[in-house]
Amino acid sequence: MFSKACEYGIKASIFIAIKSYDGKRVSPKEISKEIDSPQAFTAKILQALVKNEVVNSIKGAYGGFEIEINKIKTIKLAQIVNAIDGDNIYNGCGLGLHKCDENHPCPVHDKFKSVREGLKDMLENTSLEELALNIKSGTSYLKI
Amino acid sequence: MFSKACEYGIKASIFIAIKSYDGKRVSPKEISKEIDSPQAFTAKILQALVKNEVVNSIKGAYGGFEIEINKIKTIKLAQIVNAIDGDNIYNGCGLGLHKCDENHPCPVHDKFKSVREGLKDMLENTSLEELALNIKSGTSYLKI
DNA sequence: TATAAATAGGATAAAATTATCCGAAATAAA
DNA sequence: TTTATTTCGGATAATTTTATCCTATTTATA
Ligand code: FES
Ligand code: FES
């Protein structure tokens, strides 16, 4: 469904959010250990998330990645997915036509419509906050 | 969403179905022209579809690919997707955990559930027949 | 100011996916 | 039986995605 990069990006964002609630910054090393991802690759993805203003980076000693606490509830999954995979997954044509066009639909267009809208809706309405809180409370997991 | 291979496989199957209604067999050349895909790569995908009994191949002169007419309505999108991409897209974990497990859910598990079930449902209940008929009647398109 | 710790970012490398090429095998028709 | 046509299947290449490595830059603290 999503690229590996996107999966790592989502999980990393969640972990950074959790640590941010505790006022702590985290390193790519700590993140990749916690979400079970390749460290250097994860660091690259973090750069993309910084560029797209999902997470904040502080360089130098005692630096790391963090998210402002009051921003966590405003960040939606869609923003993370968009930063890494773009919007093709829920806006592009399911069969790879150059664009999804109501007036020139592919064979699966109507069938796909609701599925893709459901996906889009879910991504746009799911906040980092709720995902992070479920991890904190132990009702969901970041690895294995 | 789907791999290129899968997109080609779905479109190829639809085109073969249409031609089969007219009692005609088609070659990878004709197929790739009609669905705008690389010919040799499409031929490989057709082999997978043959192996998975989605389409039938007749070797030698006057051969080609076809689908038994009364079988067209029984073939579901899920069978094609499965033959090429496997079932990970609607059975695997959305964040790449080793398996999607209700008792060990990832952060997006609950949110994803309905989306993935919608996708699975759609794939399992959409027949090649309906997709082919819409192309025949000119209400949907295989390329551009 | 010097040092240590951390992110940024460029250069590669490995792996997976997508794509091409060509000869072998099968088969219908001449 | 020969020929032309067509799928099959192995080898290879190109591209994209995933992953690693190393150096530069930044920055808090001693
Ligand atoms: S045209 Fe293919 S999904 Fe809309
Ligand atoms: S565990 Fe991730 S989707 Fe179910």
Burial B81-112 (b: 16+ CB within 10 A, else e): bbbbbeeebbebbbbbbeebeeeebbbbbebb
Q: Residue A128 and residue B95: Cα distance in Å, rounded?
A: 14
Look up tokens 């910054």; give the residue. A25
Which amino acid type is present at position B9? Answer: G
Specify the pLDDT at position A39.
98
Which amino acid type is present at position B55? Answer: V
Specify the pLDDT at position B68.
98
Specify the pLDDT at position B31.
98
> Which is nearest to A2 in space by CA: A117, A96, A108, A90?
A90
Q: Residue B78 and residue B9: Cα distance in Å, rounded?
A: 12
Q: Residue A72 and residue A23: Cα distance in Å, rounded?
A: 13
| Per-residue pLDDT band at A107 (split at 50, 70, 90) | very high
Distance B84 CA to D22 C1' (A): 40
Specify the pLDDT at position B125.
98
Q: Residue B94 and residue B88: Cα distance in Å, rounded?
A: 9
Phi, psi of A48 (to 5 degrees): -65, -40
pLDDT tens profile B93-113: 999 999 999 999 999 999 999
Specify the pLDDT at position A86.
97
pLDDT tens profile A10-68: 999 999 999 999 999 999 999 999 999 999 999 999 999 999 999 999 999 999 999 99
A143: chain B residues, CB-CB within 8 Å: 97
- The CATH architecture to which A4-137 belongs is Orthogonal Bundle (1.10)
Cβ atoms of residues B35 and A96 within 8 Å = no
In angstroms, what separates the C-alpha of B63 from chain A's closest C-alpha?
A: 27
Specify the pLDDT at position B9.
98
In angstroms, what separates the C-alpha of A112 from chain B's closest C-alpha?
A: 8
| Per-residue pLDDT band at B92 (split at 50, 70, 90) | very high
Cβ atoms of residues B100 and A82 within 8 Å = no
Distance B39 CA to C20 C1' (A): 9
The token pair at A116 is 């893709």
A124 exposure class (CB count in 10 Å sphere: 0-12, 13-18, 19+): middle
The token pair at B115 is 């989306």
Kind plus residue range of the DSSP H or E element containing A6: helix A4-21
Specify the pLDDT at position B27.
98
- Strand D nucleotides, any atom under 7 Å to a protein CB: 3-10, 17-22, 25-29
In this prediction the pTM is 0.96
Averaged over B41-60, what is the pLDDT?
98
Q: Residue B108 and residue B93: Cα distance in Å, rounded?
A: 9
Q: Residue B13 and residue B18: Cα distance in Å, rounded?
A: 9
Specify the pLDDT at position A109.
98
Specify the pLDDT at position A95.
98
Kind plus residue range of the DSSP H or E element containing B58: strand B56-58
| Per-residue pLDDT band at B141 (split at 50, 70, 90) | very high
Specify the pLDDT at position B60.
97
Cβ atoms of residues A77 and B100 within 8 Å = no
Averaged over B118-129, what is the pLDDT?
98
